[in-house]
Amino acid sequence: MNTCQDLLSAITDPSGHEILDPATGEVVGTVHESTTAELDDAVAAARAAQPDWAGLGHAKRSEYLHRAADAVEANAEALAELLSREQGKPVKNGPNAAFEVGGCVGWLRASADFPLEPEVLVDDESGYAEMQYVPLGVVGAIGPWNWPMMITVWQVAASLRMGNTVVVKPSEYTPLSVVGLVHVLNQALPADVLRVVPGGGEVGKALSTHEGVDKIMFTGSTKTGQAIMRAAADGLARLTLELGGNDAGVVLPDVDARAVAGDLFWGAFINTGQTCAALKRLYVHEDVYEEVCEALVEVARQMPMGNGREEQNVLGPLQNKQQYDIVAGLVEDAKKGGGRVLMGGDPVAEQPGYFYPTTIIADLPNDNPLVAQEQFGPALPVIKYSDVDEAVAMANGLDVGLGASVWSSSTENAMAVAQRLEAGTVWINKHGAVDPRIPFGGIKKSGFGLEFGVEGLKSVAASKVISR
């Protein structure tokens, strides 16, 4: 296939559910709605294919992953256009649809190439013991709507590399992107090692409780993650849960405001703020507070928002009406709570699409809902502090801990604060920068389990000790 329309023609079910473009309201395509019986068939097929897939060994499976990456590269333009039309993110500008498709390629190749040798535990006169990592069986992968292709690959690539087969259940908001991606991947993979079952909550629940599934990987809300954890208890399926966050950034008084303003902006507004590990509340020392606010607004005003197929735009719409309403409600709460609107906060009534303007609000108390709740959209609260201990206490005061960041001209000062922040990852002078080589995961109610790197491979395998 060469075009987005070719891809849509290959995956569209004429009798399926309509998926609308969040920028225009137009129909993107129609997707098949799987039944639980079809899910049963997919799991059975994946289970039947798994022994042969595992038997290929790491080297052969890695070859297949590289071929899958080649297939994604060959269809990159079509995949990026489909993703933009369904999810809303711009095709080319900023951290965009093309960026996400490129991330799929990068994670496939990285997962294929990580070395994973048995770990020698004991080797002396008393004997020898080693730890091996063996396939679990079938992995159920349940993904989100914000980065639907890339996060699916995060789940799939490591699982396949370790000899598991995978059944993917995409978000009902962005199923076409994932069905299209799986269609492309399966051009390079053996039959039935990767299956996709688009559908609603009933299918997701059935997958998370299926006796034929050995591991569930889920990225999404804390509430849904808790439900999956309860549901998985009977079958004792292993879990990796990457759940909601409300990431804090702490700006120290020694910062160069203009030097970091661009990275602050993209840390907060990447994918129009629809990123689990985006910067969602910014604590700034009183000595540099106004300077940081001004520099951040200056950058934000240069970032056009609009339809992702219009080349000048770097920010797109919110993906769905529900999320738009959440962001709009939180901004209104911030206004009523005394927040100073530095920009935005004034959506155009009756406009097509779910566009909420880039919004920055200063002078909010730490308990304002826009600060205390995850907004998951283009609205950033900026909170003033006078003492670093105060900033750390506010940053750590919530029950989530996915990511956090510290901003400073001094690595030493930043490291000292980073050590005190409660999060799975703390970045210095950047935020949300994930890397396939570096393990990633949350603490508290942001989930548990690691993805990426060798630790990510181990998380989709069973440990096995051989002792002699």
- Residues taking part in catalysis: 242, 276
d(CA 442, CA 222): 11
* C-alpha triplet 269, 270, 275: angle, nearest 5°: 100
d(CA 280, CA 278): 6
Which backbone phi and psi does 90 adopt, to 5 degrees?
-55, 150
- What is the distance of C-alpha 110 from the center of its chain? 17
Is residue 318 within 8 Å of residue 324, measured between CB atoms?
Answer: yes
Q: Is 31 exposed, middle or buried (0-12, 13-18, 19+ CB in 10 A)?
A: buried
HSE value, Cβ hemisphere, 13 Å, CA-based, for 365: 6
Query: Measured in Å, how far apart are the chain's first and last C-alpha atoms?
Result: 54
d(CA 102, CA 14): 30
Is residue 374 within 8 Å of residue 400, measured between CB atoms?
Answer: yes
- Distances in Å between the Cα of 397 and the Cα atoms of 201, 248, 278, 423 are 32, 10, 18, 11
Tell me which residue of 125, 119, 162, 108 sits closest to 460, measured CA to CA: 162
Helix (H/G/I), strand (E/B), else coil: 261: helix
- Joined together, the tokens standing for residue 94 give 């900023």
Tell me which residue of 424, 421, 341 sits closest to 388, measured CA to CA: 421
d(CA 353, CA 306): 9
